């Protein structure tokens, strides 16, 4: 499971003109990974998790990454989002080379432009639903954060729950708050890691419908890690992970 990025980004992010300066892009892709490899040290020597992977995501498209547990899906997602770093290779996120950035700079790049949805929701327990949704807007100093957050909660059908903390919400409600938080800043790119993994099938289907409806409305690209073939089938492309390698389905 990936580390909670929003708490880290909230602590580290202040908008920086130098970090957000224009960089020449090789294509219109919002995400480009080239020859991404990841190795970790173990008791029996180095273990290769990812083998020289290439991936490219274009504006508005949804790409599913599927495969068995331990195949490297979440590791790849973390590297593509700049939450982890590759042993080798490069990642260009929103036309910025992540390999030249430190952790704080990557957080500033994500702020307000990249959304996250996780299996375990990753809501901050001490904040209300409204305050959780406001977080990405507060990172960018949006003066209308509360107004926009309320409008997004209404869009996911939770305007009556804005004052409730996560533990006072059902699993489906928590994931709807997470979706509202992910989409409130109209991100160019959404990363989703098993977004229905902790939900029953009926609730999960409603979350899927809502997620794709918001994606269509906002034109966000989606990179989705899932074990759910039905969910993967809703995407434009499916990439299968196996032994740290990617192949198109």
Asked whether residue 90 is domain-assigned, the answer is no
Query: Distance between alpha carbon 201 and the CA centroid of its chain, in Å?
Result: 22
Nearest residue to 235 via CA among 60, 23, 117, 115: 60
pLDDT value, residue 30: 96
Cα separation, 181 vs 61, in Å, equals: 20
Sequential pLDDT tens for the chain (249 residues): 444 455 555 444 443 333 333 333 447 999 999 999 999 988 888 899 999 999 999 999 999 999 988 889 999 999 999 999 999 999 999 999 998 999 999 999 998 899 999 888 899 999 999 999 999 999 889 999 999 999 999 999 999 999 999 999 999 999 999 999 999 999 999 999 999 888 998 999 999 999 999 999 999 999 999 988 889 999 999 999 998 998 876
Has residue 26 been placed in a domain? no
Closest CA to 82 of 62, 104, 60, 64: 104
In total, how many domains does the chain have?
1
- On whether residue 143 sits in a domain, the answer given is yes
pLDDT at site 23: 34
In a domain, 41, yes or no: no
Q: What is the CATH number of the domain that holds 115?
A: 3.40.50.300
15-73 pLDDT per residue, tens: 333 333 333 344 799 999 999 999 998 888 889 999 999 999 999 999 999 998 888 99
Contact between 249 and 219 under an 8 Å Cβ cutoff? The reply is no
Residue 163 lies in a domain: yes
pLDDT the model gives residue 249: 66
Asked if residue 186 lies in contact with residue 218, where contact means CB atoms within 8 angstroms, the answer is yes
d(CA 176, CA 178): 5
Residue 204 lies in a domain: yes
CA atoms of 8 and 196, how far apart (whole Å): 24
Assess if residue 94 is contained within a domain.
no
User: Which structural domain, as residue segments, surrounds residue 120?
Assistant: 59-83+103-248
Q: Tell me if 88 is assigned to some domain.
A: no
Beta bridge partners of 32: 56, 92
């Amino acid at each position: 499971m990936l580390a909670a990025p929003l708490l880290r980004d909230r602590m580290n992010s202040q908008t920086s003109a130098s970090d957000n300066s224009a960089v020449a892009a090789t294509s219109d892709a919002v995400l480009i990974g080239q020859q991404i490899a990841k190795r970790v040290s173990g008791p029996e020597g180095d273990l290769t998790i990812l083998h020289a992977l290439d991936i490219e995501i274009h504006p508005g498209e949804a790409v599913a990454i599927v495969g068995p547990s331990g195949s490297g899906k979440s590791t790849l997602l973390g590297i593509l989002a700049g939450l982890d770093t590759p042993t080798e290779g490069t990642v260009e996120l929103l036309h910025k080379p992540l390999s030249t950035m430190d952790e704080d700079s990557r957080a500033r790049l994500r702020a307000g432009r990249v959304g996250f949805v996780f299996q375990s929701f990753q809501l901050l327990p001490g904040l209300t639903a409204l305050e959780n949704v406001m977080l990405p807007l507060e990172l960018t100093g949006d003066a209308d954060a509360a107004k926009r957050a309320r409008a997004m909660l209404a869009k996911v059908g939770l305007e009556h729950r804005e004052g409730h903390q996560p533990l006072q919400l059902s699993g489906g409600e928590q994931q709807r708050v997470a979706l509202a938080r992910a989409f409130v800043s109209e991100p160019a790119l959404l990363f989703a890691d098993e977004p229905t993994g902790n939900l029953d099938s009926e609730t999960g289907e409603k979350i899927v419908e809502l997620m794709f409806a918001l994606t269509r409305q906002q034109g966000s690209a989606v990179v989705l890690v899932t074990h759910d073939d039905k969910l993967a089938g809703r995407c434009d492309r499916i990439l299968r992970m196996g032994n740290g390698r990617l192949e198109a389905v």
